[in-house]
């Protein structure tokens, strides 16, 4: 019996596919940048089946790539070398919400939107929020330590995970599903797997932390003259709201132009154009007079020249319309043409200087390039993107990806930043990682990889660069 036959037996007739038509969407990421191939798509429905798969793979040295919703942006979920592909989508059971402990347990294949809805049904909040929340999965969110728009208030995915169940490379099941806020009984092993991009184990379920649902949410869209003014506005609004800001997003004029040009049902919410904008949200209790504090802070910012205009959403519908402008930027960039993207982090206070330093460097490399720098100013994460020149040739522009990326990442390093804020390393950045991390850091990562996956069968070639020292 072949290895593939053994794997098929391990999951049963409903747990695998060799149909090229069914496999095709799983081996190409949504932008079309990465394409791979696999002889077998595995679809386990229990952690026991995942365990059986990995026992076989470990015994035979068969590499396996794990995939959730296939929404990743760095190629970490794609089988480039004919690895077996394991989809977690049938690990889709979600437990009852513990309203007293404010937790919920979900299988790795449950979508983020389903967890949000389960919490909302009990008047609670799961604050992780991403543009892909309708299709991205909890397992993928945890494996990549996803960020999103509410990191400012609630932290990355890492801060929202109380426990996990993970299947190790040898097939053993590690049950770390403790719904505890405090546990100092040894190494916090779950943290090793959060953000590990499927290279140390396969996450099959998680216990997630929920929060009280805010009574009041205030959303505003403000025009500012510069990123420096946006940074000043961040400080003013944090002080005015008593630290209740949950989101603070920087948006350039060109991004708003793209969205209103390509996305149906969108419009410019302000009367006059501005070079930059901020979309911000604050949440709190009904008795906090949050709306008054929010509006007073904005009025003061306009009076002081920090902002030139602003609109405060008067309803949930208006708030959703403002958020649609931000959440549609990536899609509008795609419709506008080819783009080179970076997911970087620098200290919050350094964002204006970084933009001023790095933008002209890329413009010198690619004359006519259109900078579209936007993102989570409140936590220092910028999507430092560039669209091809209007008259440019998309293939020729994309051929400069590596040159542009290295130039940007070198400047990120100068600012003490990170070349990946929330998307991960995957295949896209693994070769360049030694340029930005020390030998000691990389050696520690390799030691962990060897300890958890000595045969290197889990997502090989991703996240962990090979040793290339001279």
d(CA 94, CA 108): 9
d(CA 167, CA 187): 18
Which pair of structure tokens corresponds to residue 310? 């602003």
- Segment 14-30 mean pLDDT: 96
d(CA 391, CA 111): 40
Classify 3-87 by CATH class: alpha beta
Task: Tell me the CATH number of domain 216-330, given options 3.30.70.2190, 3.40.50.2300, 3.30.70.380, 3.30.930.10.
Answer: 3.30.70.2190
Q: Where in the chain is the domain with CATH 3.30.465.10?
A: 103-212
Tens of pLDDT, residue by residue over 415-443, are 999 999 999 999 999 999 999 999 999 99
Beta bridge partners of residue 222, listed in sequence order:
278, 310
The set of residues, in sequence order, having a beta carbon less than 8 Å from that of 331 and lying 6+ positions away, is 262, 263
With a cut of 70, say whether residue 48 has pLDDT above it. yes
With a cut of 80, say whether residue 469 has pLDDT above it. no
| Beta strand pairing call for 201-209 and 161-168 | antiparallel
Mean predicted lDDT score pLDDT of the chain: 95
Residues of the chain with pLDDT > 90, as a percent, come to 92
- Coil, helix or strand at residue 341: coil
For residue 287, what pLDDT is reported? 62
For residue 13, what pLDDT is reported? 96
d(CA 7, CA 84): 10
Q: Where in the chain is the domain with CATH 3.30.70.2190?
A: 216-330
Q: How confident is the model at residue 290 (pLDDT cuts 50, 70, 90)?
A: confident
Residues of the chain with pLDDT > 70, as a percent, come to 99
Q: Where in the chain is the domain with CATH 3.30.43.10?
A: 3-87
- Segment 439-455 mean pLDDT: 97
Q: How confident is the model at residue 470 (pLDDT cuts 50, 70, 90)?
A: very low
- Segment 120-144 mean pLDDT: 96
Domain 103-212 has CATH 3.30.930.10: no
- Segment 259-267 mean pLDDT: 97
For residue 468, what pLDDT is reported? 56
- Coil, helix or strand at residue 173: strand
């Amino acid at each position: 019996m072949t290895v593939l036959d053994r794997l098929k037996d391990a999951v049963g007739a409903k747990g695998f596919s060799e149909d090229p038509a069914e496999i095709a969407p799983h081996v190409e990421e949504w932008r079309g940048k990465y394409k791979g191939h696999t002889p077998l798509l595995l679809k386990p429905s229990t952690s026991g089946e995942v365990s059986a798969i990995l026992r076989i793979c470990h015994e035979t040295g068969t590499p396996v790539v794990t995939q959730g919703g296939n929404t990743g942006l760095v190629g970490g979920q794609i089988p480039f070398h004919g690895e077996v592909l394991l989809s977690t989508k049938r690990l889709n059971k979600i437990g009852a919400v513990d309203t007293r402990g404010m937790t919920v347990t979900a299988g790795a294949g449950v979508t983020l939107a389903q967890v949000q809805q389960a919490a909302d049904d009990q008047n609670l909040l799961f604050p992780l929020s991403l543009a892909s929340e309708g299709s991205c999965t909890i397992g993928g969110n945890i494996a990549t330590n996803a960020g999103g728009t509410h990191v400012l208030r609630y932290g990355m995915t890492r801060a929202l995970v109380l426990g996990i169940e993970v299947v190790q490379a040898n097939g053993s099941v590690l049950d770390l599903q403790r719904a505890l806020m405090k546990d100092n009984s040894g190494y916090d092993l779950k943290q090793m797997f959060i953000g590990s991009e499927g290279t140390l184990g396969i996450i099959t379920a998680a216990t997630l932390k929920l929060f009280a649902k805010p009574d009041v949410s205030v959303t505003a869209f403000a025009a500012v003259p510069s990123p420096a003014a946006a940074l000043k506005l961040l400080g003013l609004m944090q002080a005015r709201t008593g630290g209740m800001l949950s989101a603070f997003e920087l948006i350039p004029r060109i991004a708003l132009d793209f969205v209103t040009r390509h996305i149906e049902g969108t419009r410019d919410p302000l009367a006059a154009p501005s070079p930059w904008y901020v979309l911000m949200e604050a949440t709190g209790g009904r008795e906090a007079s949050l709306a008054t504090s929010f509006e007073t802070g904005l009025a003061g910012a306009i009076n002081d020249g920090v902002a030139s205009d602003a609109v405060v959403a008067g309803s949930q519908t208006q708030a959703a319309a403002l958020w649609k402008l931000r959440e549609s930027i990536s899609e509008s960039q795609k419709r506008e043409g080819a783009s080179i993207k970076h997911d970087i982090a620098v200290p919050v206070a350094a964002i204006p200087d970084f933009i001023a330093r790095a933008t002209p460097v890329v413009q010198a490399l690619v004359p006519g390039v259109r900078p579209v720098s936007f993102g989570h100013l409140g936590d220092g994460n910028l999507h430092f993107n560039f669209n091809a020149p209007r008259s440019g040739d998309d293939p020729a522009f994309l051929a400069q990806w590596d040159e542009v990326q290295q130039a940007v990442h070198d400047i990120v390093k100068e600012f003490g930043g990170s070349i990946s804020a929330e998307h991960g390393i995957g295949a896209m950045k693994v070769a360049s990682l030694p340029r930005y991390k020390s030998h000691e850091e990389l050696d520690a990562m390799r030691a962990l990889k060897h300890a958890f996956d000595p045969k290197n069968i889990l997502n090989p070639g991703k996240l962990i660069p090979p040793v290339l020292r001279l």
